[in-house]
Structure 1
Amino acid sequence: MRRRAFILLAALCTALVVHTPAASAANTAYVFAYFTESPNMNGADYGLHLAVSQDGLNWTPLNQNNPVVTPTAGTTGLRDPFVLRKQDGTFVILATDLKGTDFGQNNQYLHVWDSTDLTSFTGYRRIRMHNLATHTWAPTAFWDASRGQYGIVYSANNGSTDVFMVNYTSDFRTVSANQVYFSPGFPVLDGDIVVDGSTYYLYYKNLSTGLLYGARSTTGAPNSYTTYTSGLRQGNAIEAPLLLKNNAGSGCGCGATPSARSTTTTTPGPRPTSAATPGRRSTSAPTRPRSTPNTARSPGSPPPSTTAWSPGGACRTGCG
């Protein structure tokens, strides 16, 4: 899985993605979805937490840093929460079905909720993505206009290496058969996808080198991406990249943090009542599988801040 730790000027990795309807209001803040965990497991809580920020760097936990919703099926816990604003302006929340740190566990399911405003969450269910003896980690989703469907992309092992799988759906209830979406010849982890105009951007971790890279495609079709950046690392380890346009509409920046996904919202109050445009997913989990936790958080402490730097390296392009 991943520790969603990489932000493009406005969001932390493990994040909430939103696709912006043409008539949506201008965004004035960001929402961050996360779970809590520390090296000694103090304050560990595998429910969906939300935090809000006006600059994408400094965050205030909502709901007293308590979960706004918790899975009741499967492992009864989540990691890697991801929020997508759908074409109709409502939201869907996807998350890895894993409570704790048993990263060797096989699980074919994702947790799913619906929301109209990110203050109430309905229609809880789990959807089966495949029948393989592997995991289903770090989901991301995007609108594929050519198919008229959403693609759900996640990390899995196809029996020989770590790849990204994809299933297509119209309702986030029934999905197509899984197929390999990205397998560049080396193991990969924690993909994040954003569509900018006619270009599809996929950022990912190369498990062989430990670096983050960006790839792009003109169609978004499976196995159509070409890597175009050099590798990026910040600190001893990095993973779970996240792409997000900033609210000012002036491009992107880059940063890295433990793990998070972020989303854009119009109101930064306690438990935002509306979200404006789709940013990128906001999943914030201090740690993810295959990574060593580098940030500890107690229940009362806010999510970690991100480190931002000027666009360059692996995240120079893609947020136009």
Structure 2
Amino acid sequence: MFALRARLSATLLAVCLLFTGLAAMAAPQRAAAAGAEPGYLMVHFTGEGATNQQMYLSHSTDGVHWNDLNGGGMVLRSPVGTKGVRDPALVRSPDGSKYWIVATDLCIGCGQNWDGSINNGSRNLVVWESTDLVTWSQPWLLNVAGAIPDGRNAWAPEAIWNPETNDYVLYWATNVPLNGVKKHRIFYARTSDFRTITTPQTYIERPGTQEIIDTQIIEVPSGVGNYRYVRASGDGQITLEGSNSILGTWTNLGNLSGIGLTGAMVEGPMWMKFNGTDKWALYLDQYATNGGYMPVLTTDPSNPAAYQKQASGSYTMGGTKKRHGWILNLTAAEESRVLARWPNTPAQRLQSFNFQDRYVRQTNFDVRIDPNVSPLDDSQFRLRTGLAGTGTVSFESVNMPGYFLRHSDYDFQLAHNDGTTQFAADATFRQVAGLADPSWSSFQSYNFPDRYIRHYAYELRLDPITTTTARGDATFRVTS
């Protein structure tokens, strides 16, 4: 009998371990102990103009005190569509194997104004994809409003996994004349890959001429409130609605005017759940006063009376202004990768030893040395830990993040990191004492160690160095 019980116990243990393993595979792994909870990642833009309307990242360990990543510099730049992006959503697949950033294709002050973007703006969204949250694909345009009759634009995209249909509900605002009224309404479509979508349908429409542009949905755990999903919308107020089905009927729960926050004051609702507790922050952008984001805390997202404004000294938003974005609760592995990828490495320049008025710069993805570089950030790089290994460096462009100095056929170009081993090797160098002056630096190729970065006729090349002139050409000062 004892042996039988032992065999049964072993069998039960094996079954438990099997299901535990399956559960771990089905959802991103979280830190085991409450004290070891990882932090939060915010993706956002920072303002108007070609540089500020790109993708930026910030990190928080507690959800209310934020630090800029990447030295406050952009982490992704859109080269497609209007070449500007706003209002990003950061979507993680249910199994944690893929991520997408989906953003508005809009660049105010760099070729577009508000009237043009409202009435004849881009019908596309901009999408990036990643398998690790740190190496991102080239972006593509996803036409979501082109199938909406007389749809004028596509703004403020969001997405949420819908277990009822086993795909994502992608929703956004489009300005369209419909039923005699031209205004922004929320439309939705279903997608599994953010490359193709179903025919867009009207999702949210307010009565009369009232517009709605910003809305974001959060899933609420069982036992909190009366609804599985709560959405917050900017529609003249910050309106709260509840539902038990993403595509089902939604019930108006009230708004935040009772705590002094109206749609005339704040916009861009952005949810965040605190790790390890049933407590939420609804971040709101104080656009009317140009004040950036502020958190409003609650223990029940479905109850307008449960929200509490926070004193200004109880939270910090970092050095850059945070504009409409998305907050992701990180796993421990994700946090480790993100912080390693975007440390606050300073922007630096490479000054030529024998033409000291010239600096390495990129121009239309070609790489050369020039004087009087304009714009200055064409000649600015972040010296990252080498893509191919520690003890080496790789040069990432400041104004084209994700693009690195890379040799190909011994010529240099600024190229997008495709994540391959070959790219990593071609973009990695050993920083050694300057061949012409040991107080400067030279850069030896990782995969062609008999060759160094040098300039010839002002163009960057990868060459063996055998002459005094070549040693000067291959020597640089790393300077701010």
Q: Give the structure-1-normalised TM-score.
A: 0.70
Relative to 1, partners in 2 of residues 1:69 and 1:196: Cα closer, same or farther, differing over 3 Å? same
Q: Does 1:125 align with 2:140?
A: yes
3-state DSSP of counterpart to 2:152: coil
3-state DSSP of counterpart to 1:244: strand
Q: CA RMSD in A?
A: 2.6
Q: Counterpart in 2 of 1:240?
A: 268
Q: Compute the displacement of 1:202 (Å).
A: 1.6
- Total equivalences in the alignment: 249
Q: Do the aligned residues in 1 keep the contact of 2:27 with 2:95 (CA within 8 Å)?
A: no
Q: Counterpart in 1 of 2:88?
A: 81
Structure exhibiting the larger radius of gyration computed from Cα positions: 2
Q: Counterpart in 1 of 2:197?
A: 175
Relative to 1, partners in 2 of residues 1:59 and 1:187: Cα closer, same or farther, differing over 3 Å? same
Q: Counterpart in 2 of 1:24?
A: 29
Q: Counterpart in 1 of 2:122?
A: 107
Q: Counterpart in 1 of 2:220?
A: 196
Q: Do the aligned residues in 1 keep the contact of 2:241 with 2:253 (CA within 8 Å)?
A: yes
Q: Does 1:62 align with 2:73?
A: no
Cα distance in 1 between the residues matched to 2:93 and 2:156: 18
Cα distance in 2 between the residues matched to 1:59 and 1:109: 31
Q: Compute the displacement of 1:214 (Å).
A: 0.7
Could you say which structure has the higher helix fraction? Answer: 2
3-state DSSP of counterpart to 1:64: helix
Q: Counterpart in 2 of 1:230?
A: 255
Q: Compute the displacement of 1:54 (Å).
A: 0.8
Relative to 1, partners in 2 of residues 1:126 and 1:63: Cα closer, same or farther, differing over 3 Å? same
Tell me the alpha carbon deviations over residues 235-263 of structure 1, each in whole angstroms, 9 at most, x when there is no partner.
86101112221112332144434234222
Letter in 2 for 1:196: V
Cα distance in 1 between the residues matched to 2:185 and 2:131: 32
Cα distance in 1 between the residues matched to 2:46 and 2:79: 17
User: Which of 317, 339, 342 is matched with 1:272 structurally?
Assistant: 339
Q: Do the aligned residues in 2 keep the contact of 1:182 with 1:225 (CA within 8 Å)?
A: no
Q: Do the aligned residues in 1 keep the contact of 2:218 with 2:231 (CA within 8 Å)?
A: yes
Letter in 2 for 1:64: G
Letter in 1 for 2:339: P
Q: Do the aligned residues in 1 keep the contact of 2:186 with 2:205 (CA within 8 Å)?
A: yes
* Segment of structure 1 superposing worse, 194-203 or 24-33: 194-203
Aligned residue runs from structure 1 range 91-102, under 5 A: 91-101=99-109, 102=113
- Structure 2, unmatched stretches of 5+, are 1-24, 32-36, 222-226, 286-291, 293-322, 342-376, 378-480
Q: Do the aligned residues in 2 keep the contact of 1:139 with 1:152 (CA within 8 Å)?
A: yes
Q: Compute the displacement of 1:82 (Å).
A: 1.2
Cα distance in 2 between the residues matched to 1:48 and 1:80: 9
- Structure 1, unmatched stretches of 5+, are 1-19, 275-298, 300-320
Cα distance in 2 between the residues matched to 1:126 and 1:23: 28
Q: Compute the displacement of 1:158 (Å).
A: 2.9
Q: Counterpart in 2 of 1:214?
A: 240
Tell me the alpha carbon deviations over residues 66-91 of structure 1, each in whole angstroms, 9 at most, x when there is no partner.
22111111001100111011123121
Tell me the alpha carbon deviations over residues 42-73 of structure 1, each in whole angstroms, 9 at most, x when there is no partner.
x9422211111112222211112222111111
Cα distance in 1 between the residues matched to 2:282 and 2:189: 29
Q: Counterpart in 2 of 1:37?
A: 47
3-state DSSP of counterpart to 2:71: helix
Structure with higher RCO (Cα < 8 A, 6+ apart): 1
Letter in 2 for 1:103: W
Letter in 2 for 1:174: T
Q: Do the aligned residues in 1 keep the contact of 2:28 with 2:95 (CA within 8 Å)?
A: no
3-state DSSP of counterpart to 1:121: coil
Q: Counterpart in 1 of 2:186?
A: 164
Letter in 2 for 1:30: Y
Q: Do the aligned residues in 2 keep the contact of 1:83 with 1:93 (CA within 8 Å)?
A: yes
Q: Counterpart in 2 of 1:306?
A: none
Q: Give the structure-2-normalised TM-score.
A: 0.48
Identity rate of aligned residues, in percent?
A: 24
Relative to 1, partners in 2 of residues 1:250 and 1:202: Cα closer, same or farther, differing over 3 Å? closer
Q: Do the aligned residues in 1 keep the contact of 2:54 with 2:84 (CA within 8 Å)?
A: yes
Q: Do the aligned residues in 2 keep the contact of 1:217 with 1:225 (CA within 8 Å)?
A: yes
